[in-house]
């Protein structure tokens, strides 16, 4: 007879993991004479240094996973599920706070905070309704209520701050995100288009016409916005120019969510032969391939994207790395990656955050076009999320780099809350474009169908925006 598992032993094991991880973080910070910043302190790059070190990130992930699993274990199921059902209102509240510039207003008010009546006056909205929204956010540790109806920034809310004067934003709100990190822009996109799309996800999956579709214009996005266009085409309509501007700034801002130079890690750039060509396929303005070109003078770059984007890429490189432009180390090509690839037999084809935009039907077209242009020694570098199963998976043990060290028991095999970002992004991409974040076995099968063999997988900490580099070679 099997002995029933003790829930008390699970709780104790989780608490022990929490204690051990906190001890590791304290020791790591002490070794560098760093102070782990309190949650009420505003966000700064200097304060985040303590959190971004690998010897803090890893135990930090243990804390996040164990804390969330502990909550799930002890909280009444009805309460957990009801709060999950209501979580859309937290998202909507976050959008309102960004849209009415609360973080900027509170930054100018100072650490003592500001009464909600004065916050609301700035943008002519209801103070009582704003107070309720901010209190919900403060209850979730975004902003803090320092006195009744008086709110101030904390670490999380200050991360939303564009740094711009409130007067300048109110005078030209369409320019709010210009010249910023892009973090607020991407969050406003997620809490605007993303939230609306999420409301139609179930209907889209249950609809016989759209449930099995792989088309980018048969999605929850199409139901939410009443269009037959894909999201990529819709956002380029003249009437959506502000959304396109916000989205463009936000996507560029995602690079600020990962440590600088992460593109240089793991992949063997230094051993490419002199004059090797890196093709940045769908590379936007080429900000990541610029990092490679700057660090490795023996490489040349071709940046490919749609025509309007390439004009911005040219200006970007001319301002950031004019020596490379002058020396002819970089070329700019307007190219549709669903059509034959014009660059033949380069050293590397790079797809960064491209394949997750597309269903398998269209990802295969992209990969096959690259395979047709590849030489025998061309490498395919795919930078994207890989999602892990929530259970142990032994199917990829023959692929170098996939031997992930499992988190300590009783944590989920995919780290639970600490590794949750790819799963949210996966469902978001499904709703927006029928895109998908793939498992390693899924990537392996997709590559093989297109004539590539997966040869190596490199992982970054799961809390980062991009957590995998996959390398494939021609079959």
Could you tell me the pTM of the whole model? 0.92
Tell me the sheet residues that pair with 151.
114, 145
Assigned token pair, 392: 């142990």
pLDDT: which is higher, 385 or 45: 385
Q: What is the pLDDT of residue 256?
A: 66
From the list 462, 391, 419, 417, the residue with the least C-alpha distance to 67 is 417
- How high does pLDDT run on average in the chain? 93
Is 60 exceeded by the pLDDT of residue 31?
yes
Residue 140, token pair as written in the block? 């979730």
Supply the pLDDT for residue 54. 82
Residue range 256-474, CATH number? 3.40.50.150
User: What pLDDT sits at residue 4?
Assistant: 46
Q: Which two tokens stand for residue 299?
A: 């490489």
List Cβ neighbours of 129 (8 Å cut-off, separation of 6 or more): none
Yes or no: say if 415 and 392 are a contact pair by the CB < 8 Å rule.
no
Distance of CA 68 to the CA centre of its chain: 20
**Do residues 174 and 243 make contact, with C-beta atoms less than 8 angstroms apart?**
no
Those residues with Cβ within 8 angstroms of residue 139's Cβ, 6 or more apart along the chain or in another chain: none
Domain ranges (residues) in the chain: 7-81, 87-175, 183-255, 256-474
Under 8 Å between Cβ of 295 and 261: yes
What are the distances in angstroms from CA 247 to CA 98, 145, 178, 377? 15, 31, 12, 36
Beta strands 330-334 and 114-115 are unpaired
Residue 6, pLDDT score = 55
* 190-237 pLDDT per residue, tens: 999 999 999 999 999 999 999 999 999 999 999 999 999 999 999 989
CB 429 within 8 A of CB 385: no
Mean pLDDT score, 365-391: 96
Domains 87-175 and 256-474 share a fold: no
Condensed to tens digits (0 to 9), the pLDDT of residues 62-101 reads: 999 999 999 999 999 999 999 999 999 999 999 999 999 9
Backbone angles phi, psi at 318, to 5 degrees: -65, -30
Indicate which residues carry an active-site annotation: 356
Q: Which pLDDT tens digit goes with each residue over 412-429?
A: 999 999 999 999 999 999
- On the 0-12 / 13-18 / 19+ scale of CB atoms within 10 A, 294 is middle
Which class does domain 87-175 fall in?
A: mainly alpha
| Lowest mean pLDDT, pick from 48-57, 124-133, 445-454 | 48-57
- pLDDT tens digits for 349-363? 999 999 999 999 999
Helix (H) or strand (E) holding 348: strand 348-352
Q: What is the pLDDT of residue 1?
A: 39
Q: What is the mean pLDDT of residues 455-461?
A: 85
Helix, strand, or coil (residue 127): helix
Residue of 416, 438, 413, 414 whose CA lies nearest to 425:
438
């Amino acid at each position: 007879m099997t002995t029933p598992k003790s829930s008390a032993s699970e709780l104790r094991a989780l608490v022990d993991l929490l204690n051990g991880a906190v001890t590791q973080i304290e020791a790591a910070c002490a070794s560098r004479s760093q102070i782990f910043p309190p949650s009420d302190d505003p966000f700064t790059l200097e304060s985040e240094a303590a959190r971004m070190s690998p010897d803090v990130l890893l135990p930090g992930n243990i804390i996040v996973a164990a804390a969330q699993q502990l909550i799930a274990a002890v909280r009444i199921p009805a309460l957990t599920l009801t709060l999950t059902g209501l979580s859309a209102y937290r998202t909507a509240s976050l959008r309102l706070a960004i849209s009415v510039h609360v973080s900027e207003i509170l930054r100018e008010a100072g650490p003592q905070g500001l009464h909600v009546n004065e916050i609301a006056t700035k943008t002519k909205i209801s103070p009582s309704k704003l107070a309720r929204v901010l209190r919900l956010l403060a209850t979730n540790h975004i902003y803090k209520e320092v006195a009744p109806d008086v709110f101030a920034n904390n670490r999380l809310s200050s991360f939303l701050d564009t740094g711009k004067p409130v007067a300048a934003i109110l005078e030209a709100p369409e320019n709010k995100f210009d010249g910023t990190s892009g973090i607020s822009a991407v969050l406003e996109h997620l809490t605007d288009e993303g939230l609306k799309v999420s409301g139609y996800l179930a209907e889209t999956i249950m609809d016989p016409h759209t449930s099995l579709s792989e088309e980018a214009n048969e999605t929850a996005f199409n139901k939410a916005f009443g269009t037959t266009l894909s999201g990529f085409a819709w956002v380029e309509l003249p009437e959506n120019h502000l959304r396109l501007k916000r989205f463009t700034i936000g996507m560029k801002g995602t690079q600020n969510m990962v440590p600088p130079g992460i593109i240089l890690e793991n992949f063997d750039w230094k051993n490419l032969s002199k004059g090797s060509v890196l093709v940045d396929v769908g590379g936007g303005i080429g900000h990541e391939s610029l990092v490679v070109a700057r660090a490795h003078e023996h490489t040349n770059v071709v940046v490919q994207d749609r025509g309007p984007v390439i004009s911005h890429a040219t200006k970007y490189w001319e301002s950031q790395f004019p020596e490379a432009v002058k020396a002819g180390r970089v070329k700019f090509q307007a190219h549709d990656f669903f059509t034959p690839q014009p660059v033949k037999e380069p050293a590397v084809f790079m797809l960064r955050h491209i394949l997750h935009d597309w269903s398998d039907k269209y990802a295969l077209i992209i990969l096959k076009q690259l395979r047709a242009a590849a030489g025998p020694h061309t490498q395919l570098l795919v930078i994207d999320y890989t999602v892990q199963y929530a259970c142990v998976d032994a199917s990829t043990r023959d692929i170098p780099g996939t031997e992930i060290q499992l988190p300590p028991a009783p944590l989920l095999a995919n780290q639970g809350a600490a590794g949750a970002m790819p799963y949210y992004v996966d469902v978001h991409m499904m709703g927006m474009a029928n895109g998908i974040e793939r498992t390693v076995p899924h990537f392996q099968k997709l590559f093989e169908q297109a004539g590539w063999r997966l040869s190596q997988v490199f992982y970054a900490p799961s809390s980062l925006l991009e957590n995998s580099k996959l390398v494939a070679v021609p079959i």
